[in-house]
Each structure stands twice: as C-alpha cells, then as structure tokens.
Amino acid sequence: MFVIVGLGNPGSKYELTRHNIGFLTIDRLAKREGARVDRIKFKSLIGEININGEKVILVKPQTFMNLSGEAVREVMNFYKVDLKNLLVVVDDIDITPFTLRLKKSGSAGSHNGMKSIIYNLNDDKFPRLKVGVGNNERKIDLANYVLSGFEKKDQEKLENIIDASCDAILDFIKHGADYVMNNYNNKLSE
C-alpha cells in the first residue's frame, strides 16, 4: 500500500496558486486513473486508486498548508503504511522552475507544510517529490509569492510538469524511489 499526499490549501481562492501544485497533481492523477478525491476523512479529502495491484490512497489535507502534518499523521496512523511508501508532493521555490526532484528524506527547508509533516510524524525519512514553482525573481514577500498564480505564458509548462509529476508518482509506485531519482530529477519539463 502507498499513500500519496499532495500539499495545498483548500478553497477556490488558492486553487491555482504555486502552493497548490500538490493538490493539482493529485487531482490530475485521480482523473487519469478514473478516480475522485472527494471523501472527507482524516482532516483530508481522500481517494483511492489501484496501481499494479497496489492500493494507493490519494490525500489532499484540508487543514491549510501550515497544519498539513496533522492530516498526514492521522492517515499514516490509520493505514500503518511504512514511511518509505509515503510520498509527499510539494512545491519548491529553491529548484529550477518546472522541474522535479525526488528526495528520499531530508529537512523541510523553508516549507511550513513539510515542517508540519516532519514534526507530526517525528521523522523526516519519507520520500518527497518537489516541484519547482519559480524562484521569486520579483522579490515579493515569500507568502505572497507562493500564494500567487502562474503567469499565462507558463500555462503549458505548468500542464506539462503536472503530467510529469503524475508519471513520476506512478513510476515511484511501480519501480521505486531510485528509478524516479534517476529518470526525473532536474529534467526540465518541455
């Protein structure tokens, strides 16, 4: 069994923001697999798919970003999934825009959602798929930047990186973290 968590903030106000790249990815994956992420459980919207005979729980925490760990802790406590089978999809301003980077573990950096997950799980040894969302070239307040939308000129790149994120998730489930790291890390989505 796998648990795939996409980070974001609930509500239409945040729907297409940089901080919601995790939600956008979970929604796209569910749609591709003919599922819906609409059951309310564990302070989250939950859905389920099956990949290669593996049950995969899709999670969109509804606690708002800074408290995401509360929802993730509830999901993990209920399903008793090994941390290596938890994958968190998260926006990252520190990697090249529209690229992916899977890490098997590590610190949260400046990301409050990741800080909350690490705190609530009392562990940082779980994979995370980081999606580059831009590097704040305009030097606006960080919170305002991640809560802003993508520029129109970047819509195709956004669509492509969401699709690539879905492909990476499926390959994570089928082939493991090392495969994804070797085949997706730092490759620009065309």
For residue 39, the domain's CATH number is 3.40.50.1470
| 190 in any annotated domain | no
Check residue 161 and give its pLDDT: 93
Give the mean pLDDT of 65-78. 96
| 76 in any annotated domain | yes
19 as an active site residue: the answer is yes
Residue 20 assigned ligand-binding role: no
Number of domains into which the chain is organized: 1
| 64 in any annotated domain | yes
Q: What percent of the chain has pLDDT over 70?
A: 92
| 188 in any annotated domain | no
Check residue 155 and give its pLDDT: 86
| 157 in any annotated domain | yes
**Per-residue pLDDT tens digits for 133-143:** 876 565 666 67
**Per-residue pLDDT tens digits for 154-184:** 889 889 999 999 999 999 999 999 999 999 9
Residue 112 assigned ligand-binding role: yes
| 121 in any annotated domain | yes
Check residue 180 and give its pLDDT: 96
Secondary structure (DSSP) of 13-61: TTTTBGGGHHHHHHHHHHHHTT----EEETTEEEEEEEETTEEEEEEEE
Residue 14 assigned ligand-binding role: yes
Cα gap 168→100, rounded to integer Å: 9
Q: Which of 4, 9, 18, 19 is catalytic?
A: 19
| 68 in any annotated domain | yes
Is the pLDDT at 148 greater than 90, yes or no?
A: no
Is the pLDDT at 122 greater than 90, yes or no?
A: yes
Domain range for 171: 1-183
| 189 in any annotated domain | no
